[in-house]
Amino acid sequence: MPGLQLSGLASGFDWKTLVDQLMTAEHAPADKLANEKLTNTSKNTAFTTLAAKLTALKASAVSLGSADLFGTRKAASATLNSTWQPVAGVGTAIGIYQIAVAKLATTSRRTGTSDIGSALNTTDDVSGLTIANLPTSSAVSAGTFSVNGKKVTIALTDTLDQVFTAISTATSGAVTASYDHLNDTVTLSGGSLVLGAANDSSNFLSAMKLANVDGSTATSISKLGSVNKSAALSSARLKTPITAVDGSGNGTFAINGVSISYNVGTDTLSGILQKINQSGAGVTAAYDGSNDRITINNNVTGDIGIGVSETAGGLMDALGISSGLTLARGVNAEFTVNGGATLTSTSNTLDSVAHGIEGLSVAVDTVATQTITVSADTKNMRTSIEDFIAKFNDVQNYIDEQTKITTANGKVSTSLLSDNHEIQAWASSLRAKAFGTVSGLSGTISRLENMGIDFTAGTSNLSIKNGTKLDAALTNKADDVASFFQTTGTGLAKSMESYVTLLGTQGADQQKRLNKANTDIDTQIATIERRLAAQRTVLESSFIAMESAQARMKSQADALTKAFP
- 518 and 42 Cβ atoms separated by less than 8 Å: no
* Chain segment 261-315, per-residue pLDDT in tens: 999 999 999 999 999 999 999 999 999 988 899 999 999 999 998 999 999 999 9
Q: Is the pLDDT of residue 130 over 50?
A: yes
Q: What is the mean pLDDT of residues 99-127?
A: 95
Q: What is the mean pLDDT of residues 122-132?
A: 95
Q: What is the mean pLDDT of residues 535-553?
A: 76
Distance, in Å, from the CA atom of 564 to the CA atom of 356, rounded to the nearest integer, reads: 134
- 336 and 346 Cβ atoms separated by less than 8 Å: no
Cβ atoms within 10 Å, residue 340: 12
Q: What's residue 324's pLDDT?
A: 65
- 308 and 321 Cβ atoms separated by less than 8 Å: yes
- 181 and 225 Cβ atoms separated by less than 8 Å: no
- Return mean pLDDT, the chain: 90
254: left (phi over 0), alpha (psi -120 to 50) or beta: beta
pTM for this predicted structure = 0.63
Q: Is the pLDDT of residue 12 over 70?
A: no
Q: What's residue 9's pLDDT?
A: 47
**Residues above pLDDT 90, as percent of the chain:** 61
Q: What is the mean pLDDT of residues 229-237?
A: 94
Q: What is the mean pLDDT of residues 518-540?
A: 83
Per-residue pLDDT band for 259 (boundaries 50, 70, 90) equals: very high
Name the phi and psi angles at 334, rounded to 5: -125, 135
Per-residue pLDDT band for 39 (boundaries 50, 70, 90) equals: confident
Distance, in Å, from the CA atom of 134 to the CA atom of 142, rounded to the nearest integer, reads: 13
Q: Is the pLDDT of residue 556 over 80?
A: no
Q: What's residue 443's pLDDT?
A: 85
Report the alpha-carbon angle 522-524-525, nearest 5: 65
CA distances from 487 to 67, 69, 377, 399 (A): 10, 14, 21, 28
CA distances from 302 to 72, 109, 276, 348 (A): 31, 11, 20, 9
Single out the residue of 169, 274, 156, 264 nearest to residue 204, CA to CA.
156
Q: Is the pLDDT of residue 235 over 80?
A: yes
Q: What's residue 8's pLDDT?
A: 46
CA distances from 523 to 519, 529, 556 (A): 6, 10, 50
Q: Is the pLDDT of residue 407 over 70?
A: yes
**Residues above pLDDT 70, as percent of the chain:** 97
Distance, in Å, from the CA atom of 451 to the CA atom of 432, rounded to the nearest integer, reads: 17
- 291 and 299 Cβ atoms separated by less than 8 Å: no
Residue type, 489: G
Q: What's residue 1's pLDDT?
A: 40
- 331 and 103 Cβ atoms separated by less than 8 Å: yes
Q: What's residue 536's pLDDT?
A: 81
* Chain segment 183-222, per-residue pLDDT in tens: 999 999 987 899 999 999 999 999 999 999 888 899 999 9
> Which residues are 76's β-sheet partners?
373
SS3 (DSSP) at 316: helix
* Chain segment 419-435, per-residue pLDDT in tens: 888 888 989 999 998 98
SS3 (DSSP) at 260: strand
Q: What's residue 11's pLDDT?
A: 54
Is 6 or 394 the better-scoring residue by pLDDT?
394
Cβ atoms within 10 Å, residue 230: 10
Q: What is the mean pLDDT of residues 333-348?
A: 96
Is 560 or 354 the better-scoring residue by pLDDT?
354
Single out the residue of 511, 503, 506, 380 nearest to residue 433, CA to CA.
503
**Region of poorest pLDDT, from 49-53, 172-176, 488-492:** 488-492
Q: Is 546 exposed, middle or buried (0-12, 13-18, 19+ CB in 10 A)?
A: middle
Single out the residue of 338, 330, 336 nearest to residue 350, CA to CA.
336
What are the residues whose beta carbons fall under 8 Å from the beta carbon of 356, sequence distance 6 or more?
none
Cα radius of gyration rounded to whole Å, the chain = 49
12: left (phi over 0), alpha (psi -120 to 50) or beta: left
3-state secondary structure 50-97: HHHHHHHHHHHHHHHCCCCHHHCEEEEECCCCCCCEEEECCCCCCEEE
In the sheet with 95-103, reading across from the earlier edge strand, the strands are: 73-77, 369-376, 95-103, 333-337, 343-345
Residue type, 236: A
How do beta strands 185-189 and 217-219 pair? Answer: antiparallel
CA distances from 429 to 131, 333, 496 (A): 94, 59, 10
Q: Is the pLDDT of residue 3 over 50?
A: no
Burial 313-322 (b: 16+ CB within 10 A, else e): bbbbbbbbbb
* Chain segment 57-111, per-residue pLDDT in tens: 999 999 999 888 998 899 999 999 999 999 999 889 889 999 999 999 999 999 9
Q: Is the pLDDT of residue 552 over 70?
A: yes
Per-residue pLDDT band for 404 (boundaries 50, 70, 90) equals: confident
540-546 long-range contacts (CB < 8 A, ≥24 apart) are 540/5, 540/19, 543/7, 543/15, 543/16, 543/19, 544/4, 544/5, 546/11, 546/15
Distance, in Å, from the CA atom of 236 to the CA atom of 228, rounded to the nearest integer, reads: 5
Burial 498-513 (b: 16+ CB within 10 A, else e): ebbeebbeebeebbee
> How far from the centroid of its chain's Cα atoms is residue 226's Cα?
46
Distance, in Å, from the CA atom of 436 to the CA atom of 492, rounded to the nearest integer, reads: 9
Q: Is the pLDDT of residue 225 over 80?
A: yes
Distance, in Å, from the CA atom of 357 to the CA atom of 374, rounded to the nearest integer, reads: 11
CA distances from 520 to 228, 425, 466, 515 (A): 92, 28, 54, 9
Q: What's residue 195's pLDDT?
A: 95
